[in-house]
Structure 1
Amino acid sequence: MTISFRFACGLLLLLGLPGTLRAQATLTPAQYQQDFDYFWTTVNDNYCYFDKKQTDWARVRELYGAQVAGVSTRAQFVRLLENALNELCDNHASLSTNLPDSRRLVPTGTDVWAQFEQGKPVVMAVRPGYGAERVGLRPGMEIVSINEVPVAQALPPLLGRTLKTVDAAARNLALNLALAGDHRTPRQLTVRAQGRLRVLYPDIPTAQLEQRDARSLLESRQLGTVCYIRINNSLGNNRLIAAFDSTLDALANTTGLILDLRDTPSGGNTTVARAILGRFLTQEQPYQRHEFPAEERQFGIRRSTLEIVSPRPRPYTRPLVVLVGHWTSSMGEGITIGLDAMRRATIMGTEMARLNGAITSFRLPNSTFGFNIPTERLYQVNGQPRENFVPAERIAPDPQGTTDTALDSALQRLHAPAKR
């Protein structure tokens, strides 16, 4: 996934939170209309997942196009486009700017992942080291209300107004957007656990999700004879290549490696990904397949490609386990499906972020800020959609939050005799 302005297949533009608005000369109504038309047409012609969405994109033009005449400020226009883009119910589609009360990005700006189970909104995972974990939110708890608004009332404003039907994917995304909150309002979460209600304040005293990540690019340690490397949300930073190489070289004599990708929500770029993948290979292999629907729609000619990884010096050939979870996103997902396709690693953990495809970034001609939408479908080498991948060994998180069950399982596998 190479990164440029026009072509960005990861979430490199979204490392951390989107940029805040900057002062700009007021645009004319005609300029706002031109920008909206460019936005709508670009999405219409290039977005590659309409077939699995319930969105009536023609209705989006009618509904939001009618509101453009009332726009007189940049902030109003940003909010209009946020609402229009939200109609896709796709957390891999975003603006490159935001308002103070814009929703945080999912999964980059979240610390809790929930979904509906038998009609109830249930916490599935909690991001280690952030506010939700700190205040005691745990998997298995039921979300009752968010900022004193019952879940049933909090979701409709986040579901969009042009959906033909509200499917499970749209409901779950709306739930996670509601749990993420916005950039300025401290969250109050009321949960039910073991029949009792608890009120939790994950953003007090500090809204950790608003702070830039100051950690090192990666962390490593030796666990007995096993090497453990954790990537700290840095797959878009080319400096990670040298850091990863030197770390792996220093631990080359270990009997196995655990590569932890569970905190890579901001995506990255294909240069870093291929650098990491190349350290585990001794011959060239494909790691993912790309498909370009816009070209087929325009010309009737189907186009798809396989992306190849080449081996790099000093390959690590010992057994490898990759840990993944709900905050393994975009390029982290790409590395995972690549190692799985190459039969080079055992994948352990939960389902990943399930982001749709590869994104391209476009810029509005007058407002000048950008928007990002999936324009390429991504597949495993065997032809299965990347977003449908699940680990071969699914490891549920510890509901008490006291044990890293996935890491323990990985250590047990690498310390056990090899099975053929």
Structure 2
Amino acid sequence: MIHTCWRLICALLLVFLPTTLLAQTKLTPAQYQQDFDYFWTTVNENYCYFDKKQTDWAKVRTYYGAQLPGITTKAQFTRLLENALNELYDNHASLSTNLPDSRRLLPSGTDVWVQYQQGKAVVVAVRAGYGAERSGLRPGMEIVAVNDVPIVQAVSLLLGKCLKTVDEAAREVALNQALAGTHTTPRKLTVRVQGKRRDLYPDAPTAQLENIRYPRLLESQQLGTIGYIKINNSLGDNRLMAAFDSTLDVLAATTGLVLDLRETPNGGNTTVARAIMGRFITEEQPYQRHEFPAEEQQFGIKRSTLELVSPRLRPYTRPLVVLVGRWTSSMGEGITIGLDAMRRATVVGTEMARLNGAITSFRLPNSGFGFNIPTERLYRVDKLPRENFVPAKRPNPDTEGTSDAGLAAAVQLLQNTNKP
């Protein structure tokens, strides 16, 4: 019996051993080269937004390929791949592995969003409930330095080395990477407010962005006769469907509903999204258009599809407001443009994360590292690119941090809608 159990254990180990060894075995120079070639070719053939970029992807192969002879560890190879992928300056492209000192991902790993305005790095959004907000950072403040490095210098260090020219989009991504910081170094942000400089410490006493936890999949309450549901970054969790259904049933008698998607930075899946949207419609409708450029590039035949949403039991037919912001990402953006296209909701908020398309995951043959890149273009049904959607109703930014201007605007809109 003992020998039989041992043989079973050994058999199971043989099944799982290749994956384990993949993470531990030292790779040869030829294997690093093979992985890099696979990475470069896969991006070259499948990434669907090169036309929006100033990236010279052929130069990426030469520039980073020349560094391969010096790569002897997986940590070094990870950093090389991070830098190569950064040449796309695309927040929807990422590695599935990272180093302790890797940069936080945008937007899920940051709590502030900054844009250039008249040559200055100005805060346009602060993530509610996180370190940047608690430290006193507010929209309208100018960022002067990060960890005592002048912002111009900090940004220049993060710009790609293989860009034909540095466009506004590349500068904004680098700017926000600088503000996001790394997993290991606490941030010191120097800001200018009314002509005076202040130092803020978003990661003190602890780096909250490394340990984000939510008490539940969603939150809900009733604000007078208005219902409110906030999704806590769970659009990729299939358990949300049942939780959402039961919560919406409780709020069925309300005169209007606010669906808050401002804390959905990790995206999600279309099953959960369609389940949510299906509770707000009474007939099947298209909500999103897909295009597949790789197929057209390979065969010269254009392919596009419309994705449909089917109604579900107990539809909520009262007025609906979708509340969005900079941390409404990917699938959250899809739900937003879908409900907007179906004329089922009014969208209130600021620009969303503006992530490009739908991603596909790939895996390198030797290191086993995964990477994700946009391979499908996504549009609202009327062919507006999803990343270009901007809410028609925008609340005034909360520069004092004393109220939720977005929620107040959403509730006021519903109250006005319900007036006789």
Does residue 400 of structure 1 match 2:400? yes
Q: Which residue of 2 aligns with 1:315?
A: 315
The runs of at least 4 consecutive aligned structure 1 residues that moved more than 6 Å come to: none
| TM-superposed deviation, 1:394 | 1.5
Q: Secondary structure at the match of 2:198?
A: strand
Counterpart of 2:35? 35
| Residues 274 and 309 in structure 1, CA contact (< 8 A), matched pair in contact too | yes
- Return the alpha-carbon distance in structure 2 between the equivalents of residues 180 and 203 of structure 1: 11
- State the Cα distance separating 1:170 from its structure 2 match: 0.7
Distance 1:36 1:261 in 2: 37
SS in 2 for 1:305: strand
Distance 2:311 2:157 in 1: 49
AA aligned to 1:265 is P
Distance 1:417 1:76, change over 3 A: closer
- The superposition leaves residues 179-223 of structure 1 with CA deviations (integer Å, 9 ceiling, x where unpaired) of 000000000000001111000111010100000323210000000
How far residue 95 of structure 1 moved from its aligned partner, in angstroms, is 0.2
Contact between 2:23 and 2:367, CA under 8 Å: does it hold in 1?
Answer: no
Which position in structure 2 is the counterpart of 1:282? Answer: 282
Residues 41-190 of structure 1: pairs in structure 2 closer than 5 A = 41-190=41-190
Cα offset for 1:396?
3.0
Question: Could you tell me how far apart the structure 2 residues matched to 1:63 and 1:419 are?
Answer: 63
Cα distance, 1:260 vs. partner? 0.3
Q: Is the 8 A contact 1:235 1:331 kept in 2?
A: yes
* Root mean square deviation of aligned Cα: 1.1
Residue equivalent to 2:16: none
Which residue of 1 is the match for residue 5 of structure 2?
Answer: none
- Count of paired positions: 399
TM-superposed CA distance for 1:25, in Å, is 1.0
What letter is aligned with 2:312?
R
Counterpart secondary structure, 2:414:
helix
Larger radius of gyration: 2
What SS is found at the alignment partner of 1:355? coil
CA distances 1:146-187 after superposition (whole Å, capped 9, x unpaired): 000001100112111011111111111111100000000000
Matched, 1:324 2:324: yes
Give the distance between the partners of 2:101 and 2:125, measured in 1 at CA. 25
Distance in 1 separating the partners of 2:337 and 2:179 = 28
The alpha carbon displacement at 1:418 in A equals 4.7
In structure 2, what is the equivalent of residue 17 of structure 1? none
Other structure's SS at 1:116 match: strand
Task: Tell me, in whole angstroms, the C-alpha distance in 1 between the residues paired with 2:43 and 2:396.
Answer: 37
Residue 374 of structure 2 aligns to a residue in which SS? Answer: strand
Higher RCO structure (Cα 8 Å, ≥6 apart): 1
1:224 corresponds to 2:238: no
| Displacement after TM superposition at 1:107 (Å) | 0.2
> What is the distance in 2 between the residues matched to 1:198 and 1:212?
27
- Work out the CA distance in 2 between the residues paired with 1:329 and 1:397: 20
CA distance in 1 between counterparts of 2:121 and 2:401 reads: 19
1:397, CA displacement in angstroms?
2.1
Secondary structure at 1:333's aligned position in 2? helix
Instruction: State whether residues 292 and 375 of structure 2, in contact with CA within 8 Å, keep that contact through their aligned partners in structure 1.
Output: yes
| Conserved? CA contact 1:361–1:372, under 8 Å | yes
Partners of 1:349 and 1:396 within 8 A in 2: no
Gaps of 5+ in 1: 1-21
SS of aligned partner of 2:157: helix
What are the Cα deviations for residues 376-403 of structure 1, in whole angstroms up to 9, with x where unaligned? 0000100010000000111232111111
Task: Quote the residue 2:18 is aligned against.
Answer: none
3-state SS in 2 of match to 1:407: helix
Alpha-carbon deviation of 1:23? 5.1
How far apart are the structure 1 equivalents of 2:144 and 2:104?
Answer: 20
- Structure 1 CA distance for aligned equivalents of residues 48 and 157 of structure 2: 25
**Percent identity for Structure 1 against Structure 2:** 76
